[in-house]
Structure 1
Amino acid sequence: MDEDENLYRLGLCFVDLIGPIIARTLVNYCGSATAIFEEKAHLLSKIPGVGEERAKAFQKSSVLIRAQKEMEFCFENDIRILFFTEEVYPRRLLHCSDAPVLLFSKGKIDLNPNHAVAVVGTRSQSNYGKVITEKLVDEWAVFKPQIISGLALGIDTTAHRAALKNELETVAVLGHSLDLAYPFQNKNLFTEIAESGALISEFPSGTKPDAPNFPRRNRIVAGMTDATVVVEAAQKGGALITGQLASSYQRDVFAVPGRVNDAKSAGCLNLIKNNEAIVLTTPQDVPEVLGWQTEGSEPVRQMQLPVDLSTEEAGIISALRSGSMQVDELGSTLGRPISQLFALLTQLELKGIVRSRPGKKYELA
């Protein structure tokens, strides 16, 4: 990677009024971060969503001075810079419209694993929540999923520790920069995850764990995974937000039910009641819905297809041979409108060829 391009990529983080959506628009129009900074302001201003004020912000010398300091900090602390156009960037995040254009990562693991699941919950976990979280991760270990959470006290901490105990990769997504271990009680866990998993943040050095940062952190947790499991959640809080974000991203959400009069389970029960989450009653619910397979598991039985398939139906079947797909992804792959796809999928369901799954996913029956 050209060092200048990395500098300009970092520069995008420090330009006033430029969020992830506008930044991606600029990269798509100009071709690279370098080209954005080299473009004339009056031409940048004509790009949809930019305007004069944002365009002029790229001319401030302080932007690249700050970016240079950040690049030196990353080099000195062995922090990777992951840009959204690179293969090392978490590909699941690319399907989220508000995904960061750039992430900071400390750790060597691949952030595009075969299986990735978020496990989140309240900071004030009960013994029930702790035991359930440990049991879930223990049972999933055979499938070797990457366990993603937010390094908060309570359920998050239990999930990370259970992953480490089972020698699974675990990723902690932070609501502050990578130069700070927070909460302080998790300083040792912070170090362990950096050594055998990965720490992820969209925030440059010197960013404190201020309250507005954590909802932003939660969208990354939800977006980096195939599914989010909410173990315990109050009526309001970060875990509930993460579950709702995952649902909005058309990802599977599971919620562990609790007693109806338990405040720590109120959020989980609401997710279930509002059809935003699947009731999780056994650890195997997650691998069954997501279609996980272990090494040496029985191959999928080859299905006999009827001969009266239309060209459109055959195209859907061909696309689904690689695995389950969300209807939006299927539409993008086949270049067909969603309304037309739903009609075709319904016909294939009636023929017993495909079946629907939670989260608007479809797979071969």
Structure 2
Amino acid sequence: MTQHDWAQDLAPWIRLEQIPGVGPETARKLLNTFGLPENIFSASFSALQKVVSERIAQALLAPPSDEASALIDKTLTWAEQPGNRVLTLADADYPKTLLDIPDPPLILYAKGRIDLLQNRSLAVVGSRNATTQGVLNAEKFSEVLSQAGLTIISGMALGIDTAAHQGSLRGAGSTVAVIGTGADIVYPARNRTLAHQIAAEACIISEYALGTPAIASNFPRRNRIISGLARGVLVIEAAAQSGSLITARMAAEQGREVFAIPGSIHSPLSKGCHLLIKQGAKLVESAQDVLEEIQHHDVPLRPTPAPSPAAKAPAASPILVAMGFDPVAPDVLATRCEIDIAAIHAQLLTLELDGLIEMLPGGMVRRLATS
């Protein structure tokens, strides 16, 4: 296909998305009736009125607005740059898993390795305000699952999403970031370095037109793509009311598996995961729990390496043993260990520097599971 033919095929798709009043549902009705977008724009007014309102039919027959024409030109120029692709529902490279969901996006704007969109995938999501333990879990689980061959899908938000992308980039399965802005915008700005790494080594996708800024309502909507691309969704830390639970609900509605990592009964960020488990999500304690659930699919996954039998964990300090894994106040630890409070604070500082505990708001401390 020549560049002219390619641009001629793509332009009507972009134009269709920009017609006032034509949302995804209306666009699908038009496509089901007329086929490709160019057929919609060449249809008669009477034929269009059988599918859409008079106002929308008139808008479809009107010449493209200056704004729509400018966006088409901008998008075609962007798509000519190395690593950039615009995938439509008619494109052979459009991810097949998204064709199974009720409302697949008409267009996907992609940067990087679009081959990852066809891989067996798992979504990993969770709180933006994650604890240190949650970040460690997200990074390690994603790394191990990626090493086993799963592509990790997430939303490039701060917290759990960021850790999931960083961990999965170290494995063969790599990662796909589904963003809630235009593909030419990095959000949040703190993830600029990560975004450039994913674009270079993995894949970033968006359903939103180039130049679309960060709009709050767009992020919950993009969650259906995160879950739709994946075989299942793993939730790592989520409050009782959170976007991660929206993703999990969408996954269940799409027929995907839902997994959740439990946490302390005292942590607000465990409430969402515990709620999911009560509702039937699979409780996960290790990456192997996830892999075993999806092993029945046709292509075997690489097994995760077993720990060496010769390797022994170092003996835990008495303070760590007394601490357990729930948040605890230093003065309570002093009582449990029968140690002076000043000595407790000195040892807690050492344990924090060694990455074995984290300090929590309110002066509480918590042990980290680092294995």
- What's the secondary structure of 1:58's corresponding residue? helix
- The question of whether the paired residues in 1 share the 8 Å contact of 2:178 and 2:205 is answered with yes
Deviations, residues 82-122 of structure 1 (Å, cap 9, x unaligned): 11122211111111111111110011231443410000000
Q: Distance in 1 between matches of 2:303 and 2:146?
A: 15
- 2:195 corresponds in structure 1 to 190
Larger deviation, residues 126-135 vs 185-194? 126-135
- 1:130 corresponds in structure 2 to 135
Structure 1 unpaired stretches of 5+:
298-365
For residue 49 of structure 2, the aligned residue among 27, 45, 51 is 45
Q: Distance in 1 between matches of 2:86 and 2:208?
A: 11
The yes-or-no answer on 1:282 pairing with 2:286 is yes
Which residue identity does 1:171 align to in structure 2? V
Deviations, residues 261-306 of structure 1 (Å, cap 9, x unaligned): 211111111111122x211122111111111623699xxxxxxxxx
Q: Distance in 2 between matches of 1:121 and 1:138?
A: 16
- What's the secondary structure of 2:25's corresponding residue? helix
Deviations, residues 162-206 of structure 1 (Å, cap 9, x unaligned): 011224321111100111111111000000000011110011111
- 1:332 corresponds in structure 2 to none
- 1:218 corresponds in structure 2 to 223
- 1:85 corresponds in structure 2 to 90
- 2:34 corresponds in structure 1 to 30
* Match runs of 1:90-105 below 5 Å: 90-105=95-110
Calculate the TM-score normalised by the size of structure 2.
0.75
Structure 2 unpaired stretches of 5+:
305-371
The yes-or-no answer on 1:165 pairing with 2:170 is yes
Q: Percent identity?
A: 37
- The question of whether the paired residues in 2 share the 8 Å contact of 1:89 and 1:111 is answered with no
1:51–1:153 CA distance, 2 compared to 1 (3 A): same
**TM-superposed deviation, 1:260:** 1.8
- What's the secondary structure of 2:87's corresponding residue? strand
1:136–1:97 CA distance, 2 compared to 1 (3 A): same
The yes-or-no answer on 1:154 pairing with 2:156 is no
- 1:208 corresponds in structure 2 to 213
Q: Distance in 1 between matches of 2:294 and 2:173?
A: 18
Q: How many residues align?
A: 294
Q: Distance in 2 between matches of 1:272 and 1:9?
A: 41
Deviations, residues 306-336 of structure 1 (Å, cap 9, x unaligned): xxxxxxxxxxxxxxxxxxxxxxxxxxxxxxx
- The question of whether the paired residues in 2 share the 8 Å contact of 1:113 and 1:145 is answered with no
Which residue identity does 1:288 align to in structure 2? E
For residue 71 of structure 1, the aligned residue among 69, 73, 76 is 76
* Match runs of 1:193-272 below 5 Å: 193-272=198-277
For residue 54 of structure 1, the aligned residue among 40, 53, 56 is 56
**TM-superposed deviation, 1:56:** 1.6
The yes-or-no answer on 1:294 pairing with 2:301 is yes
Calculate the TM-score normalised by the size of structure 1.
0.76
- What's the secondary structure of 1:7's corresponding residue? helix
**TM-superposed deviation, 1:40:** 1.7
Q: Distance in 1 between matches of 2:77 and 2:30?
A: 25
Which residue identity does 2:191 align to in structure 1? N
**C-alpha RMSD of the superposition:** 1.9
Q: Distance in 2 between matches of 1:142 and 1:187?
A: 25
- What's the secondary structure of 1:171's corresponding residue? strand
